[in-house]
């Protein structure tokens, strides 16, 4: 691809390890660039992996490492979709969802992205309003990225005529 199709350097470690992949091609879709994804994840490696994929695919991405920081970012930056871990250092992702309901903040669509796939946890997440519950080991960042527009559309409900 011609150099002008590349926009920005990726993570510095990537440039060192894989010089041929040191730049990311930015998707020209206006719709994707206008979509803001908040990742609430305390594992830096996982957060970085998802952030890299989503940015590569043209999304605007913010990462929060705790539930309270995630709550503040939901209130202040109004993301279009939230990818939420269940086990966080200060509160669980479920508690964050309950806090959103209690404060009356109309939450964006929330997709739980967890290591835990027990049926009881899945039921709890869905009953709290998650649009999807995904187990990290069963999904790739690219699959999550491709699903984001559908989750946003799903949360809007049927179109009114």
Q: Does residue 143 carry a pLDDT above 50?
A: yes
Q: Model pTM?
A: 0.78
DSSP letter, residue 42: S
29 vs 136, which has greater pLDDT?
136
Structure tokens at 30: 């206006």
* pLDDT digit string, tens, across residues 69-109: 999 999 999 999 999 999 999 999 999 999 999 987 778 99
Architecture of domain 29-155: 3-Layer(aba) Sandwich (3.40)
Distance CA 39, CA 19 (A): 27
Structure tokens at 9: 């350097």
Of the chain, the percentage scoring pLDDT greater than 70 comes to 77
Domain residue spans in the chain? 29-155
Contacts of 29 (CB under 8 A, 6+ apart): 58
pLDDT of residue 33: 64
* pLDDT digit string, tens, across residues 106-135: 789 999 999 999 999 999 999 999 999 999
């Amino acid at each position: 691809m011609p150099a002008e199709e590349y926009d920005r350097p990726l993570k510095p470690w990537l440039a060192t390890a894989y010089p041929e992949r040191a730049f990311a091609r930015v998707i020209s879709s206006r719709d994707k660039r206008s979509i803001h994804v908040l990742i609430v994840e305390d594992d830096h490696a996982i957060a970085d992996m998802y952030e890299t994929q989503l940015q590569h695919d043209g999304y605007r991405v913010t990462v929060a490492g705790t539930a309270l920081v995630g709550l503040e970012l939901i209130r202040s930056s109004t993301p279009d979709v939230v990818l939420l871990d269940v086990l966080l250092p200060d509160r669980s992702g479920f508690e964050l969802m309950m806090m959103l309901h209690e404060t009356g903040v109309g939450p964006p669509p929330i997709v739980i992205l967890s290591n835990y796939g027990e049926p009881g946890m899945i039921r709890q997440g869905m009953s709290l309003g998650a649009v999807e519950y995904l187990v990290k080991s069963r999904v790739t960042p690219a699959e999550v990225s491709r699903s984001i527009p559908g989750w946003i559309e799903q949360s809007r409900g049927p179109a009114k005529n």
